[in-house]
Amino acid sequence: MSAWLDPVRRALDARSAPVALFVRDDDAGWADERLAALLTMWAGHRVALDLAVIPSELTDQRAQWLTGWRRACPARLGFHQHGWAHVNHEPTGRRCEFGASRPLDGLRRDLSHGRARMVEALGAAVDPVFTPPWNRCADAVGPLLVEMGVTVLSRDVTAGAIGAAGLRECPVHVDWSGKKRGLRLTRHALGAVCADALAHRPVAGLLFHHAVMDAPDLHDASALLDVLGRHHMVRSVSLVEAASLLPRPRGSDAIAAAEASA
């Protein structure tokens, strides 16, 4: 039995209005077999999924394969840009592809290469969303994304907000494969994290990393999606829709209006 999901059920039962839930899976382009296993599991649930795709790994063959999944599945499968090549550029500290140590030109070049490859390979299926590898990027990336037509940034909730005009920030709250002091969370700890994330906020995000999910992981993730997909206090939404439900950062409307009239 999945007793670790009891706190999740209780948190949802206690809500007075539904939570809009989006689900992200990162690193499409790596570990195709595991992605196929995750998509097969996901296809049995009534939950939308947003795939974060690594553009430099997006061969034409992979793009066709992903497009096939999109066509075949009844629930919505979205694609968006996950960095450019998922490589670290920081000489010290935490890994980051679009970090503060890089000149603006390099950031802009890799962002636009990634965007161009996504659109070339997946066409209109690409959402105007960006998720940075390792869920972190420099604040300077915000305006560069807006320049390229990207309107939504999704990182981890602990990353805070950049607050760039024209950019909505829609963070994830639960990292299924997240670690504490170097160790994966137990199922019971994960259940508590999920319950906390789903208890009060209007919009919540759940993050998977298929490349590190084995069969027991998929089994338990399926049990969670089953609860989420069936509960009347969960409304499954895409990342784009989730972002549209969040209040705009203070001042962004005024700034955007001033820029539009300049």
Write the DSSP assignment of 121-140 as a string of letters: HHGGGEEEEE--GGG---TT
Which of the residues 15 through 54 are near Zn ion (CB under 5 A)?
26-27
Q: How far apart are CA 29 and CA 116, in angstroms?
A: 16
Q: Give the number of C-alpha atoms closer than 13 A to the C-alpha of residue 147, restricted to the C-beta side.
A: 11
What string marks each residue from 113 to 152 as x (binds Zn ion by CB under 5 A) or -? Answer: --------------------x-------------------
Q: Please, are residues 26 and 50 in contact by the beta-carbon 8 Å criterion?
A: no
Comparing CB distances to Zn ion, the nearer of 154 and 236 is 154
CB of 239 to Zn ion, least distance (A): 15
Closest approach, Cβ 254 to Zn ion, in A, equals 34
Residue 222 Cβ vs Zn ion, minimum distance, rounded to whole Å = 22
Within residues 73-112, the interface with Zn ion by CB under 5 A covers none
x/- letters, 231..260, toward Zn ion (CB under 5 A):
------------------------------
| Cα distances (angstroms) measured from residue 46 to each of 43, 165, 226 | 8, 34, 8
The residue type found at 260 is A
Nearer to Zn ion, 198 or 221 (CB): 221
Least distance (Å) from Zn ion to the CB of residue 68?
23
Contacts of 225 by beta carbon, 8 Å cutoff, 6+ apart: 23, 41, 42, 45, 47
Tell me how many residues contact Zn ion (CB under 5 A): 3
Its sign, for the CA torsion 177, 182, 186, 190, is: negative
| Residue number, 26 or 169, with CB nearest to Zn ion | 26
Q: H-helix or E-strand containing 204?
A: strand 203-209
Least spacing, CB of residue 133 vs Zn ion, in Å: 4
Task: Between 7 and 133, name the residue whose CB sits nearer to Zn ion.
Answer: 133
Judged by CB, which is closer to Zn ion: 195, or 207? 207
How far apart are alpha carbons 84 and 73 in whole angstroms? Answer: 27
85 vs 148, beta carbon nearer Zn ion: 85
Binding site for Zn ion (CB under 5 A): 26-27, 133
